[in-house]
């Protein structure tokens, strides 16, 4: 199946990786790569195998077969080397209620072997980047969900790793907190860090990832740059049209004059799959609508969304 990323200088490279739990194939012969300095969006329903894969890459679990390398080191034979170079943000973490935010970050800085001024600088730098300077002395267990997620991201960043593995970092966040977190992740990639991030919020992933991998029941359905995946797996171009007047007349005209998939109508607004991906066809369609006497208020083309692509490539199967 044509679904692997060919990458030069990959920050993460996974080759025929499998992880079985008894008869359950949580991860089943997957291969993909995360390019240096990019954000790779890992997509899939609950039980797809995303967290298991990320735990293997973070050296918290062992593969049944296959190989994975992070920053050039094997997860099987060089786990200590990987741990120095990777920041892992799990989907849940302990609160350490007796610690302040500053103490929490200082604890993990010590765990990574940072000493004296290097440790103090790392804590200060991390507080500043995550926007938690103003709450540095507040107890961790009094923080809002958004601030807790920022602090957990800070924990993953404290040793300035080259690679970040973020498991559902936006889970439970309000819209503002999600937007701000998305901005921080993009900033980190712009600084040269390589980031593997999983999320259920597909509309937001599409705004800031470079590459994607779609996983279902442990099998990789597609992987690669988002534009390439759209092209290879039949990404559609959707026409959005709004007209004045009787929408029923427009619906009849569209059905009689277009060879297209199902047309949806909401008031005076229509959506349908473009019958061709040529811009000439699109401009011809607009001219024909005007010539037919319709007063067009809006006419535009949008690429199929990441949600559309996900629904096309997956079958709704659960483990």
What is the tens place of the pLDDT at every residue in 135-186?
999 999 899 988 999 999 999 999 999 999 999 998 878 888 888 989 999 9
Residue 6: which pLDDT band, with cuts at 50, 70 and 90?
very low
Residue-level pLDDT at 243: 86
Residue-level pLDDT at 7: 39
Does 47 have pLDDT greater than 70? yes
What value does the mean pLDDT of the chain take? 87
Does 194 have pLDDT greater than 90? yes
The conformation of residue 134, written as its DSSP 8-state character, comes to: G
Residue 140 shares a structural domain with residue 78: yes
Residue 127 shares a structural domain with residue 35: yes
| HEC readout, 264-316 | EEECCEEEEECCCCCHHHHHHHHHHHHHCCCEEEEEEEEECCHHHHHHHHCCC
Residue 185 shares a structural domain with residue 246: no
Residue 186 shares a structural domain with residue 291: no
**Proportion of the chain above pLDDT 70, given as a percent:** 91
Averaged pLDDT, 193-214: 87
Residue-level pLDDT at 203: 73
In a domain, 200, yes or no: yes
Question: Which of the pair, 270 or 314, is modelled with greater confidence?
Answer: 270
Residue 54 shares a structural domain with residue 150: yes
Residue 3: which pLDDT band, with cuts at 50, 70 and 90?
very low
Output phi, psi for 34, to 5 deg.
-110, 120
Residue-level pLDDT at 5: 40
**Proportion of the chain above pLDDT 90, given as a percent:** 55
Averaged pLDDT, 306-311: 76
How many domains does the chain fold into?
2
Question: Which of the pair, 126 or 241, is modelled with greater confidence?
Answer: 126
Averaged pLDDT, 63-89: 96
In a domain, 315, yes or no: no
Rounded Cα gap, residues 274 and 15, in angstroms: 37
Q: Which residues contact 211 (CB under 8 A, 6 or more apart)?
A: 5, 34, 35, 38, 39, 40, 41, 223, 224, 225, 226
Residue 217 shares a structural domain with residue 70: yes
Does 79 have pLDDT greater than 80? yes
Contact (Cβ atoms closer than 8 angstroms) between residue 222 and residue 232: yes
Residue-level pLDDT at 1: 34
CA separation (Å) from 18 to 15, 66, 195, 229, 247?
9, 6, 21, 23, 53
Does 264 have pLDDT greater than 70? yes
Domain extent at residue 294: 237-303
Residue 140 shares a structural domain with residue 264: no
Cα atoms in the Cβ-side hemisphere of radius 13 Å centred on 134: 3
Residue-level pLDDT at 92: 79
Rounded Cα gap, residues 150 and 250, in angstroms: 50
| CATH assignment at residue 167 | 3.40.50.300
The conformation of residue 139, written as its DSSP 8-state character, comes to: B
Averaged pLDDT, 261-285: 72
Sign of CA dihedral 66, 71, 74, 75: negative
Residue 183 shares a structural domain with residue 295: no
| CATH assignment at residue 268 | 3.30.70
């Amino acid at each position: 199946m044509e679904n692997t990323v060919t990458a030069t200088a990959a920050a993460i490279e996974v080759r025929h990786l499998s992880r079985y739990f008894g008869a359950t194939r949580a991860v089943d012969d997957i291969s993909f790569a995360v390019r240096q300095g990019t954000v790779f969006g890992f997509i899939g329903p609950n039980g797809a195998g995303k967290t298991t894969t990320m735990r293997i890459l973070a050296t918290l679990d062992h593969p049944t077969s296959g190989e994975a390398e992070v920053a050039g080191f094997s997860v099987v034979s060089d786990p200590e080397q990987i741990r120095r170079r990777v920041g892992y943000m799990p989907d849940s973490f302990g609160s350490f209620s007796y610690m302040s935010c500053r103490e929490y970050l200082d604890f993990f800085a010590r765990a990574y072997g940072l000493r004296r001024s290097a440790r103090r600088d790392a804590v200060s730098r991390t507080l500043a980047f995550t926007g938690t300077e103003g709450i540095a002395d507040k107890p961790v267990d009094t923080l809002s969900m958004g601030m807790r997620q920022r602090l957990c991201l800070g924990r993953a960043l404290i040793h300035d790793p080259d690679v970040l593995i973020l498991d559902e970092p936006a889970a439970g966040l309000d819209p503002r907190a999600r937007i701000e977190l998305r901005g921080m992740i993009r900033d980190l990639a712009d600084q040269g860090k390589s980031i593997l991030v999983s999320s259920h919020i597909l509309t937001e992933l599409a705004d800031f990832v470079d590459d994607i991998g779609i996983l279902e029941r442990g099998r990789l359905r597609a992987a690669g740059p988002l534009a390439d995946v759209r092209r290879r797996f039949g990404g559609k171009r959707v026409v959005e049209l709004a007209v004045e007047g009787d929408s029923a007349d427009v619906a009849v005209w569209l059905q009689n004059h277009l060879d297209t998939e199902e047309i949806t109508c909401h008031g005076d607004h229509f959506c349908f799959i473009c019958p061709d991906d040529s811009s000439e066809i699109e401009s011809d369609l607009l001219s024909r609508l005007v010539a037919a006497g319709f007063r067009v208020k809006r006419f535009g083309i949008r690429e199929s969304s990441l949600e559309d692509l996900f629904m096309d490539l997956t079958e709704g199967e659960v483990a």
